[in-house]
Amino acid sequence: MRVVVGVSGGIAAYKAVLVVRALSELGHDVRVVPTAAALNFVGTATWEALSGHEVRTDVFEDVEQVRHVRLGRWADVVLVAPATADLLARAASGRADDLLTATLLTTHGPVLMVPAMHTEMWQHPATVANVATLRERGVHVLDPASGRLTGEDSGPGRLPEPSEIVEAVLALDPAGDRPLAGRSVVVSAGGTREPLDPVRYLGNRSSGKQGYAVARAAARLGAEVTLVAANTSLDVPPGVDVVPVGSALELREAMLRAAGEADVVVMTAAVADYRPVAVSDHKIKKSGDAPLTVELVQNPDVLAELVERRAGTGAETKLDQMIVGFAAETGDANGSVLDHGRAKARRKGADLLVVNDVSGGGVFASGTNTVTFLDADGEVRGTATGSKDDVAHELWRAVLALR
């Protein structure tokens, strides 16, 4: 894919360096077009070294090559990251006073703007109107992330992480590999919380990162994705609809509803096995040294229920639906992680069970993972190790191979 990466003059330009490097390492041909202001943050030498191409900012440089027309026609996708309030305003009004804005007027491919600025600037009526205008014209504009900004400020306006921007660019590739195009995918992520009283709950350490990576990868492959997210604080992946839930019963209801017509269902969420029989209406107080006894009742097995419903004869049955489960296991005196995983694969009946070793808790909230893919008979169908995005892509490769 041929990508023009426009960089406007904001401090978040340093993140664009990682975007350019990632796109280049993936084999895409990248040409960087910074504004003059952007070069105050990252210099020409950096852009040229990472892209392998010379860098210009002005339409009056090498006039005989008519760069703004040539670049616009050449690009399969144009990305602008960061897109400052000034750049958004100039683009919305059709200005062409430097090489980047002139290129935006000549391109026929999709354009992706990734804004980054202070919260007040992002929320100003002028910026809101400019973003609305660009979106009406078909420009893809990502909402900025919330978090730490320049200085001590925090709020919406932070540039999304480079991996998210790369995923959004790849999703726009007109010639991209999109084997899930036209397919519906439902993914669960995070960890459920079972309330004890108004302030306490039984929960687990799942951050939701692996589930979000699975949803993000599915969207990249062309799927329509619904993400049922339990107690997560992660940025929504581009092109993904999120359904927030809290407890295991809420997750069950949301999954059964969303999965009805889905082509693939992936249960990555860590669903609590038990919940309290009774939930106190007030905060439970300590009673001296007396122990507290909490009676628990078993939660429904959502994965098993999905498999059972698929095999039924009701109106919600979808016989060709693929179901993928996750099993976080630790070894013990009764068997290894893989032993427990194989037993669970045979018991659950999902098409694929993704088994990972969570001994010591190192996987939780981590950016990496190591997993084994088992089929319904407990046979190994592959392994994956690396970042959670890498594992997610290997998961979809395994799913497509089974289909």
Give the residue numbers annotated as catalytic, written as ranges.
Answer: 204
Cβ atoms of 164 and 173 within 8 Å: the answer is no
Distance CA 219, CA 304 (A): 25
Query: Pairing state of beta strands 368-375 and 380-387?
Result: antiparallel
Long-range contacts of 329-336 (CB under 8 A, 24+ apart): 329/355, 329/356, 329/357, 329/358, 330/357, 330/358, 330/359, 331/357, 331/359
Q: Which residues contact 241 (CB under 8 A, 6 or more apart)?
A: 225, 226, 227
What does the chain come to in residues? 403
Distances (CA, A) of 272 to 181, 207, 303, 336, 357: 33, 14, 12, 22, 18
Q: Say what angle helices 162-170 and 209-220 make with each other, to 10 degrees.
A: 30
**Is residue 261 packed enough to be buried (19+ CB in 10 Å), middle (13-18) or exposed (0-12)?**
exposed
Q: Which residues contact 244 (CB under 8 A, 6 or more apart)?
A: 229, 230
**Helix (H) and strand (E) counts in the chain:** 13, 19
On the question of a cis peptide bond just before residue 82, with omega within 30 degrees of 0, the verdict is yes
Q: Say what angle helices 388-402 and 209-220 make with each other, to 10 degrees.
A: 60
Closest CA to 337 of 328, 345, 346, 348: 328
Query: Pairing state of beta strands 2-7 and 29-34?
Result: parallel
Sign of torsion over alpha carbons 117, 123, 124, 130:
positive
Closest CA to 68 of 106, 95, 31: 106
Distance CA 57, CA 36 (A): 6
Query: Pairing state of beta strands 77-83 and 111-115?
Result: parallel
